Chains A and B, each alone.
Chain A
Amino acid sequence: MNMNASTPRVEMRGICKAFPGVLALDNVNLTLMPGEVHALLGENGAGKSTLIKILTGASTKDSGEILLEGKPLSFQTTGEAQALGISTVYQEVNLIPAMSVTKNLTLEKTVGRFGMISWRKAREMAREKLRRLKLDIDIEQAVGSYSVAVQQLVAIARALDDDTRVLVLDEPTASLDAQETAALFDIIRDLKSRGIAVVFITHFLDQVYEISDRISVLRNGNLVGTGLAKDITRNELISMMIGRELGEVEATFAAKSNATKGEPVLVAEGLGRKRTLKPFNLTLRAGEAVGLSGLLGSGRTELTKILFGAIRHDSGTLSVGGKSVGRSSPRYSINSGIAFCPEDRKAEGLVGELSIRENIVMSMQAKRGWLSRVPRRDQERLAEEMIKALAIATPNADKPVGQLSGGNQQKVVLARALASQPSILLLDEPTRGIDVGAHAEIITLIRELCQKGLALLVASSELDEIIASSDRVAVLRDREKIGEIEGADINREKIIQMIAGDDGH
């Protein structure tokens, strides 16, 4: 550890990584200094996890190089990275709940004679590891019997060795309360003083400023900026995270008329759920697009899911089309004309192996019940119509959705939502992971849908997408709706200010 302080501990240069249809990382550079806490920020899908996986050997890079204390590195597995002193604590605590603390701490690390484990030595090793974090727990108990906070610390204890040089903490505070977080930060400061480079991934801005020395922000696979925490203001940081400059096509739609504001079709009053989202009021009108803006973890997705009934509310009232909804459920919502396009289209939205036609018909079939099949001719007609209307680039309607590009997949999600002829459409991140051209097309589509009298809710991490597509913007911060802005008030500065909380909210 007697390295010159000016030699970077780790230097990642020009890292590129492509997944089918998406460029996950585009020429990203990241430098970690010894004894610094480096916050890595970005929205979902910005490339944080991919970058970390490459650094820790869980994934391989397509191009670029990684230098550890000036020496080029190449490793294929997490084991090799760990041997070089690069350790990770993943977002979901990765331990075996049913096994004892000792076994979890020493798994694959035990020593003994003739291939036999000496549990006495293993216990010594476990105690030694816990002592580093000043953690005093019964090491014979199952890990699963402890709170998440303790499990988190055990996971960190496992990751730390005498020769640990880089420690990556992926969202370590996501499930900790304030006191537990403070305790964790004490430990991080201690690690820092021992010269370990700590990478800290989080979406809590307060914590970023509390603990980090330097900040790097990723967006859509690009490094947007990097700098000392004390030099970057909160507003600058938010702007870096969500403030993408839009192309000309998209910007033109910012000039919109909201002359045709129809009847309220969905009214939420005091709607909320404990620990998920504080009670909020929201009205959706026919022919109007409402944007939902806020940082990652502010409750955007939760709000759309509560409206759709995918998360059940425990307070307030919801009425759709003038009728009040008792127990909301996705099935009830679909039947009353609400369509929902979820954020994670692969996991929740589309069935990749099925064809475009089958995916589009699915929601109609659900609405009709499984006994009355949609005739094949109708299916084909509908699919052709949708492909034409949304300009889905495909040779025919029978191509499996999984083989389409991201933008076209998103259009199929839209087509499916529209096939059930909804009166209310909820879109969560409609442009996630798609290229700029398709991006503009989707926004155009959103505007057109609106003019046809659909009530729209668009949740997005892209500030300018919200500005371009919405007539009204609801802003969220820390699982709470903090305000709404309309018309001429909708601009970058105003929204960033609201999210940062500088305007007295």
Chain B
Amino acid sequence: MNSKYLPLAATIAVFLALFLIGGSLYRNFLSTLVLGNILADNSFIIIAAIGATFVILSGGIDLSIGSMIGFVGVCMAVLDSLGWHPMATAALMIVFGILFGALQGLIIDFCEIQPFIVTLAGLFLLRGACFMVTLDSVPIHHEFVDVYNSMKIHLPGRGWLRSSAIVMLISLFLGIIIAHFTRFGTNVYAIGGDKESARLMGVNIRKTTVMIYALGGFYSALAGVVYALYTSSGYPLAGSTLELSAIAAVVLGGTLLTGGVGMVAGTLFGGMILGLISTLIIFNGSLNSAWIMISSGILLFAFIVLHRFLVSSFNVKGT
């Protein structure tokens, strides 16, 4: 097997192991019902994480994801109360997300500022904007929300594939195509692998950087739309620290934080692992929810160490 699939294989193995552990501990755990719920409950995190995968593959970071989700949510809710159709608002917010991301990318490349700082500014800016729009939790009443939430596909067994999960799987498919079958995708890997070499090999760094963050903005805005429809409301604090969960999903999915190595498909399993952990602890019932974060933290740490060894086995020979 090609060594580049090793991290992905490790991620899938961990996911299956956790799922089987759940199945051995609790009756009814090993079912499409649980799987379908995990997919639907974590769909917005995974959607945002797909965008973050591109950013991290290029060696960057996007901290504005959580605030973007919150901002999109409150805009959806407030515009709903003004009579907008949710789909129209969604389209508007996605265009906003793309432009906001593109602007972040442009600033990062043009001013040569670290992505950390630029997107941290984006985080504060968008969170502040949430509070400018509304200070309260605003429900979305439009009938489309009920239609959206009742749409589902039967899975074998008792499970459902809810609409959020469907949107997530379509975004994942789109992400895989972009990452592995377009010039842009290859350029993302090249920039993350070695920016200077990529420049000398003829990659247009600025254009690619702008597109990477625009794509990140697209995915976080889409995640915001899915979250707002799923919860049928907008709340100015929604999505706080969600960017960190998204980054965790990306890293658990086998993508290196230093860029250049990783796969979009891994992010799905990374996000699912996070979801599985919280489901397991909720199933247990007697454990404090603090254990969700503690075990996620331990797993994340173990994974980074594992990748360190996997990657060093094929990355250092040349230098």
User: Which residues of B sit under 8 angstroms from A94, Cβ to Cβ?
Assistant: 194, 196-197, 200-201
B3 at the interface (CB under 8 A from A): yes
Q: With A97-B194, A107-B190, A117-B186 given, is the CB distance from A146 to B317 under 8 Å?
A: yes
B187 touching A97, Cβ below 8 Å: no
User: Which residues of B sit under 8 angstroms from A104, Cβ to Cβ?
Assistant: 201
B201 touching A99, Cβ below 8 Å: no
User: Which residues of A sit under 8 angstroms from B3, Cβ to Cβ?
Assistant: 142, 145
A251 at the interface (CB under 8 A from B): no
User: Which residues of B sit under 8 angstroms from A96, Cβ to Cβ?
Assistant: 189-190, 193-194, 197-198, 201, 260
User: Contact partner of A99 among B183, B260, B317, B319, CB < 8 A?
Assistant: B260
A232 CB to nearest chain B CB (Å): 32
B314 at the interface (CB under 8 A from A): yes
A289 vs B314: C-alpha distance in the bound complex, in angstroms? 48
Q: With A96-B197, A98-B261, A107-B202 given, is the CB distance from A144 to B317 under 8 Å?
A: yes
Of the stretches A37-45, A108-116, A205-213, the one at the interface is A108-116
B187 CB to nearest chain A CB (Å): 7
B122 CB to nearest chain A CB (Å): 28
A100 vs B187: C-alpha distance in the bound complex, in angstroms? 13
A97 touching B201, Cβ below 8 Å: no
A219 at the interface (CB under 8 A from B): no
A213 vs B198: C-alpha distance in the bound complex, in angstroms? 33
User: Which residues of B sit under 8 angstroms from A133, Cβ to Cβ?
Assistant: none
A90 touching B200, Cβ below 8 Å: yes
Which residues in chain A, 46-80, are within 8 Å of chain B measured between CB atoms? 58, 78-79
A227 vs B203: C-alpha distance in the bound complex, in angstroms? 38
User: Which residues of B sit under 8 angstroms from A143, Cβ to Cβ?
Assistant: 318
A372 at the interface (CB under 8 A from B): no
B260 CB to nearest chain A CB (Å): 5
B209 CB to nearest chain A CB (Å): 15
Chain B: how many interface residues by the 8 Å CB criterion?
29
A110 touching B193, Cβ below 8 Å: no
B319 touching A115, Cβ below 8 Å: no
Nearest to B318 among chain A residues (CB) is A144
B2 touching A147, Cβ below 8 Å: no
A144 touching B201, Cβ below 8 Å: no
A97 vs B316: C-alpha distance in the bound complex, in angstroms? 8
B318 touching A141, Cβ below 8 Å: no
Q: With A82-B202, A107-B203 given, is the CB distance from A146 to B190 under 8 Å?
A: no
User: Contact partner of A93 among B260, B315, B318, CB < 8 A?
Assistant: B318
B315 touching A107, Cβ below 8 Å: no
Cβ contacts A120-147/B at 8 Å (1 or 0 each): 0000000000000000000011111111
User: Contact partner of A98 among B2, B177, B193, B196, CB < 8 A?
Assistant: B193
B53 CB to nearest chain A CB (Å): 15
Which residues in chain B, 56-111, are within 8 Å of chain A measured between CB atoms? none
B120 CB to nearest chain A CB (Å): 25
B308 CB to nearest chain A CB (Å): 14
A411 at the interface (CB under 8 A from B): no
A95 at the interface (CB under 8 A from B): yes
A108 touching B187, Cβ below 8 Å: yes
Nearest to B198 among chain A residues (CB) is A96
A145 touching B182, Cβ below 8 Å: no
User: Contact partner of B319 among A82, A97, A158, CB < 8 A?
Assistant: A97
A103 at the interface (CB under 8 A from B): yes
Nearest to B311 among chain A residues (CB) is A98
User: Which residues of B sit under 8 angstroms from A99, Cβ to Cβ?
Assistant: 186, 189-190, 193, 260
Nearest to A138 among chain B residues (CB) is B2
A158 vs B190: C-alpha distance in the bound complex, in angstroms? 15
Q: With A58-B200, A94-B196, A96-B260 given, is the CB distance from A144 to B314 under 8 Å?
A: yes
User: Which residues of A sit under 8 angstroms from B189, Cβ to Cβ?
Assistant: 96, 98-99, 103
Cβ contacts B286-319/A at 8 Å (1 or 0 each): 0000000000000000000000000100111111
Q: With A82-B202, A146-B317, A151-B318 given, is the CB distance from A98 to B260 under 8 Å?
A: yes
B200 touching A78, Cβ below 8 Å: yes
User: Contact partner of B186 among A107, A147, A158, CB < 8 A?
Assistant: A107
A79 vs B203: C-alpha distance in the bound complex, in angstroms? 9
A148 at the interface (CB under 8 A from B): yes
User: Which residues of B sit under 8 angstroms from A140, Cβ to Cβ?
Assistant: 2
B4 at the interface (CB under 8 A from A): yes
B193 touching A107, Cβ below 8 Å: no
A117 touching B182, Cβ below 8 Å: yes
User: Which residues of A sit under 8 angstroms from B196, Cβ to Cβ?
Assistant: 94
B52 CB to nearest chain A CB (Å): 19
Nearest to A147 among chain B residues (CB) is B317
A-B contact pairs, 20 of them (CB 8 A): A78-B200, A78-B202, A90-B200, A94-B194, A94-B197, A95-B201, A96-B201, A97-B193, A97-B194, A97-B315, A97-B319, A98-B189, A98-B193, A99-B260, A100-B4, A103-B189, A103-B190, A108-B187, A108-B202, A117-B182
Residues of B within 8 A of A (CB): 2-4, 177, 181-183, 186-187, 189-190, 193-194, 196-198, 200-203, 260-261, 311, 314-319
Top 3 A-B residue pairs of the complex, sorted by shortest distance between their CB atoms: A96-B193, A94-B197, A108-B202
Q: A90-B200, A110-B183, A147-B318 are in contact. List 18 more A-B contacts (CB 8 A).
A: A78-B200, A78-B202, A79-B202, A94-B196, A96-B193, A97-B194, A97-B319, A98-B260, A99-B186, A103-B190, A110-B186, A116-B181, A116-B182, A117-B186, A140-B2, A142-B315, A145-B317, A158-B201
